[in-house]
Amino acid sequence: MAVVPSVQEFLRRSETPYTVFPHRPAFTAQEEALVSKTPARDWAKVVICFAGGEPIQAVVPADLHVDLQRLASLAGVPLLRLATEAELDWLFPDCERGAMPPFGPMYRQRVFVDTSLTGEPEIVFNAGTHADAIIMRYADFKRLARPVVGSFAMRVFPA
């Protein structure tokens, strides 16, 4: 499978240049960065949260985690919660579970991007499957996703 058809159509209509490349199947952002030989700082991990009743996309580098309190503050809500696996299935029926691309406008979702990704010339992310990735210029991604940019990623160190 390559790019899921809905993502492919979204990109075609936007006339945005991008490259798709297959990689060995992987199921976490850090594994995907590793198998695709992409620096973790360039792999855009999508974390779905609920701000009130509204699903939002938090996008951070593969090697970082989302600080829910800082993201809630940025989103203007008192608290956030992570989406469940069942919610991912109905929010992204065209994608493999957990392989959704960071194109919130496609899914009527706001996108929040951590500042650490904004300095990268290109970003890489899931194409709707766990075995295909999209690489595109950050500037093109920004034009498509219209993200709110803020500092909400954190590094978690093992205990």
pLDDT band at 158 (very low <50, low <70, confident <90, very high): low
CA torsion through residues 27, 114, 57, 106, sign: negative
Residue of 93, 105, 103, 95 whose CA lies nearest to 46: 103
For the segment 125-136, what is each residue's pLDDT rounded down to a tens digit?
999 999 999 999
Q: List beta partners, residue 51.
A: 54, 80
Q: Please determine, for residue 159, whether its predicted confidence score (pLDDT) is greater than 60.
A: no
In the chain, DSSP assigns E strands to 19-22, 44-51, 54-61, 65-66, 80-82, 110-114, 122-126, 132-137, 148-150, 153-154
Residue type, 78: P
Report whether 70 contacts 144 (CB < 8 A): no
Both structure tokens of 145: 């996703």
User: Measured at the alpha carbon of residue 27, what is the angle toward residues 146 and 45, in degrees to the nearest 5?
Assistant: 20
Which tens digit of pLDDT belongs to each residue from 36-51?
Answer: 999 999 999 999 999 9
- The torsion of the CA quartet 55, 81, 68, 34, rounded to 10 degrees, works out to -70
Tens-place pLDDT, residues 84-103: 999 999 999 999 999 999 99
Sign (positive or negative) of CA dihedral 103, 135, 6, 88: negative
pLDDT band at 3 (very low <50, low <70, confident <90, very high): confident
What average pLDDT does the segment 8-27 reach? 93
CATH 3.30.2000.10 is right for the domain spanning 5-154: no
pLDDT band (50, 70, 90) for residue 1: low
Helix and strand counts by DSSP (H, E) for the chain: 6, 10
In the prediction, which pLDDT does 78 show? 95
pLDDT on residue 38: 93
Average per-residue pLDDT for the chain? 94
Parse the chain into domains and list their residue ranges: 5-154
> What three-state secondary structure class fits 35?
helix
